[in-house]
Structure 1
C-alpha cells in the first residue's frame, strides 16, 4: 500500500497512499436561543451538515452558498419529547482572513437562516424524537421503530398517538433533491423526498440491529419527559448497536453511486457495553444507484484508545477517495458546559480500507455475529482498516487565532464538547489568502473543512412544540452552536466532492 500524506499548517499524517495538512481559517456561532420558522429552538445542528455543492461560488473575496443542518432528536437533557424531525437550511458567506495569536480575527463566517423542512413517515404522519418502544410495518419497508405517547407527547394534555421515531445523525444530499439520513435508534439509513416524506428505509445487517428478549428492540433507554421513571428491560440490548451508539456517520461518493455509514462504536457483542472495550466498530458500503440499495462491504474500524483507557467514539465521516475517508473521533464530557474544560482528543482522522477484511456475507453479519470478543479483542484473521490520527481541533495555537480555547475557563470562548459534522469546499484559485500557501500540484489540492458543534439544544430561552412550550435547560447554561473552518491539503488523486 503506497503512502499518501495529509497535511495542515500544524498537522501532517501519512495514511495508505496519501498525505494531508490543515490550519484553522475561521470560527462562528449560532445563538443558543435562535428559533426556526415554526417557533422551535434551532439546536443540535452539528449532528450533521451538508453543502449544496452546486450553490457554492467564490466572488468578491467571499465564498457563498447553501448549507443544510440536521438536528438530532431534539431537546432531551431532561427526557425525550415529541419534537418533529426536521432539517434546517441556511445561506452562508465565508470571507478568508489572515489571523495570528498576536492579532486574532473576528468571526468571518456569516450564517443566515432560510427555511426548515419537516420530515414525515411513509404515510405522512410526522416523525418524532421520542424513544421507540414498539415497531410498525408499512408495505415495502422493514419494521420501523415506533414511539407511542400519551397526551401531546410533551407532558401535557392531548389525545395521545404513535409515530415513527428517529434519532437523526447523518445527512447526504441526493442529486435529485432527496435526502439520505442515518439514525441511531434503529441503526437504519432512510431516504426522504424533497417534501420530507420517507420513501425508503435500509435495514443494516442483523448484527447491527438492537435486540432484547429475542426480538428487535429499538429503544435507547431514553425515557420520555412525561415519564422519567420508565425503564426498558434489559437496559442495554443483548446484541446490536449500543444505546445512543447507532449510525452516527454517513457520507457518499461524489457520483452518488455509493453510501458509507459507520456505527459510533462497537456493537454490544463486540465489546460495545463498555466505554473501554468498544473500539472495534463497523463501516458499511452500499451501492445506491439503482432501485435496490445493495450492501457490498462491511469493514472493521479500530477507534483510538485514549490515555484514560476509554475509546474515542466516532461522530462523522467524509468521503475522500474510493479507499480513504475522514473520521471525526472525540472524547466526551469536556468543553463548554461540561464537567471538564480540557478535551484530550477531538480529531479529524484518516482511514484507509485498501487492505481491510470485508466480513460481509459471513456469520459476523448475523444476529449476535461477532468480529471481536465481548472484551473487545479483534478476532484473528480479520484485518481492520488503517487508522491514521491527523488534525486536532484542540490546538490552542490555532484556536487562539479566533479567540477560542481548549481547557481553562468555562466561558463562551471555550470549545464546545460535541463535534459531529463535516463538509468540504475547494479553495478557489482567486482566493488570494487561501491560495497563497498552496502546495505544488503534485502534492494534492486544498480544501476548506467545515465542522459544526452539537449544542444539545441547551439554552435558558428554549421553545418546543411549535413554539407553544418554553423550556429552561436545568444545566443553567446557554451553549451556542460553534462553527470551525480548517484549510486542509488533501493528496493528489483524491476526489472528496
Structure 2
C-alpha cells in the first residue's frame, strides 16, 4: 500500500540529497592555513586529431597553455575567450623532424555543467567548443626558422647577451617547447627540453633573449655541453654517450613554467631530477629543481631562489617504485604553485598501455624549503641528491594532493575512463598543460576554472607534417582534449 505523504517526503529528501551531493564531493587541500577546494569537473571538450593548422600541418596540442584572461568574458550563454596552445617538436615517433616551432591561438566557448551535476545524455563532452583561430611560427633572433630536430652535438656559441644555444645539423635553433607564459604586451616566455632554456619571444614570434639555467641542469657529455635528447633525425647518428653524464636527463627539461600573479617572478621546474641527483634511474629521479627568477627585467631574468621539489613516488602493478615526473605548473604566489605530475606509458594511443596509476595535481609549498640558489649545488660536480638521496642539509618543498585526474566517478560523469577499452573515451597518456580563468561570479570571487589539456603527440590516421603524410601506429587517433575543473583558490586575485 502506498503512503502519499511518505512518498512525497522521500522525494523531497532525495532532491535535497542530490542538491547537497556536489558539496559532499568537494576535495580540499589545506596548505599553510589556506584551503584549496576542488569542486570537480565541469566541462570537457575536444579538437579532432586530424585538425590541420594555418600552415596545413597536423595540429599540435597542449604541451603548454595560456588563457587570455584579459579577454575572458561571461554572459547568459556562458563564457568566451581565447587561449594559446603550445605544441612541442612535432610528430617524432620515428625520430625528430624539421618541424618549425609555433604557437596556436584557439577560440573558446564554454558552458559549464554545475559542479557535481550530470551532463545531459549525449552532451557529456560538448561544454567546451574549441576552434583554431591562428598559428604563429617562432623564429630565432635573426628571424630564421627554428626546428624540432635533435641538436645532437652542435652548439651555437654565446654571443652578446645570448648564451650558448642548441642547434641542429641544419644550423637552425633546435626547440622542444614545453610551457608558455603570455605577457600583457603579447610577448612570451617559452621553456624547452633541449637547453633546458627559457626563451623570450616578441608578440610577432621573434626570439628576443634566452636564459640558461644553473650549470647543474645543463646536459654535459665528455666534459662539454651537449643538448641532444637521444632522438636523432633521419640519417643522424646517436649521441655518444646516449645519456648526459650530468645535467638534465634526455627529454626531462623545463616542462613546467608559470608567472606569479603579481608578475614579479617566473617559476620554472625541471621535469625530473638532473642526472647527478638520481635522474639516471626512473626509480630515483624524484628530487627535481624549481627555479624562481626575478622577472623585473624581462630581457635579463635573474635567478632569485631555487628549491628541491620531491616528485610523487608510487608503486606499479609489479611493486616497483616509480616516480611521477611533473608536466606543468600554475603559480599561485612566489612560494606556492599547482603541479601536475603523472606516470607514463599508459593511455589511449598506446596499444600496450594499461590504466594510469598516477595523474594528479598537487599544491607545492616552498615557503619552508631550503633556498639553494647560487650555492654549491648549482655546480654539476656537487649533487644535492646523489643516487636520489637528498642531502640532509636541504629541506625540500612540501606537496599536498589536490586533484586526482584519474578519479573514475568524475571521469564517468563525462563519458570518459582511465584504462579499460582502447577507445575514443580513454584518457590519453600525456596531460601537460594547465591554465586558470576566473568564473567571474561576484558571489564566488575566489573561484576559477582550471583548464587542463593533453599533448596528443600528433597521433592521427590523417597526418601531414614537414611535407609528408603519415599514419600513427596501431590506428591511433588521439584528439586534443580539455578537462575543466572548478576550484576555489582564496586570495589569488589579491596577489
The TM-score normalised by the length of structure 1 is: 0.90
2:181 to 166, 169, 172: 172
1 CA distance for matches of 2:481 and 2:275?
32
Deviation per CA, 1:401-445, whole angstroms, max 9, x where unpaired?
111111221100011111001111111227xxxx6xx5xx7xxx2
Hey, what's the Cα distance between the residues in 1 that align with 2:27 and 2:357?
A: 16
Is 2:238 aligned against 1:219?
A: no
CA distance in 2, matches of 1:199, 1:322: 25
1:8/1:488 contact within 8 Å kept: no
Q: Distance in 1 between matches of 2:238 and 2:232?
A: 7
Residue range with higher mean Cα deviation, 96-105 or 71-80: 96-105
Pick aligned residue for 1:297 from 276, 298, 305: 305
Q: Deviation of residue 335 (structure 1)?
A: 1.0
| Paired residue secondary structure (1:207) | helix
Return the match for 2:165 from 132, 138, 144: 144
CA distance in structure 2 between the aligned counterparts of 1:334 and 1:380, rounded to whole angstroms: 35
For 1:405-420, list aligned pairs within 5 A.
405-420=417-432
CA offset at residue 208 of structure 1?
0.5
284-293 or 397-406: which moved more? 284-293
- 1:344 and 2:351 aligned: no
* 1:100, distance to aligned residue in structure 2 (A): 4.3
Alpha-carbon contact 2:99-2:147 (below 8 Å) kept = yes
Residue matched to 1:35: 52
Which structure is larger by alpha-carbon Rg, 1 or 2? Answer: 2
Aligned residues of 1:8 and 1:21 also touching (Cα < 8 A): no
Deviation at 1:474, TM superposition (A): 2.6
Partner in structure 2 of residue 79 of structure 1: 95
Structure 1 residues 249, 164: closer, same or farther in 2, change over 3 A? same
- SS at 2:475 equivalent: coil
Alignment partner, residue 17 of structure 1: 33
1:378 pairs, out of 379, 382, 390, with: 390
The equivalent of 1:70 in structure 2 is 86
Given that 2:211 and 2:300 are in contact with CA atoms closer than 8 Å, whether structure 1 keeps it comes out as no
* Count of equivalent residues: 461
Question: What is the distance in 1 between the residues matched to 2:334 and 2:492?
Answer: 8
Aligned to 1:89: 105
Instruction: Please state how far the C-alpha of 1:8 moved relative to its aligned partner.
Output: 9.0
Alignment of 1:477-496 (within 5 A): 477-490=476-489, 492-495=490-493
Matching of residues 87-486 of structure 1 within 5 Å: 87-98=103-114, 100=117, 105-106=123-124, 107-133=126-152, 134-137=154-157, 138-148=159-169, 161-224=170-233, 226-227=234-235, 230-290=237-297, 291-308=299-316, 309-338=321-350, 339-373=352-386, 375-429=387-441, 445-465=446-466, 468-486=467-485
Counterpart-to-counterpart distance in 2, 1:299 and 1:424: 24
Q: Distance in 1 between matches of 2:382 and 2:69?
A: 39
Following TM superposition, by how much is the alpha carbon of 1:348 offset from its aligned partner in structure 2, in angstroms?
Answer: 1.0
Structure 1 stretches lacking a partner, 5+ long? 1-6, 149-160
Partner of 1:155: none
Closer, same or farther: CA 496–485 of 1 in aligned 2, 3 Å: farther
* CA deviation map 1:444-466 (0-9, x unaligned): x211100110000011110112x
Q: Which has the higher contact order (CA 8 A, sep 6+)?
A: 1
8 Å contact from structure 1 (residues 101, 400) kept in 2: no
Kept after mapping to 2: 8 A contact 1:144/1:186 = yes
Name the CA distance, whole Å, in 2 between partners of 1:455 and 1:381.
41
8 Å Cα contact 1:103-1:401 kept in structure 2? no
Q: Deviations over 1:75-134 (max 9, x none)?
A: 101110001000000110101124645955432100111111101111111010000020
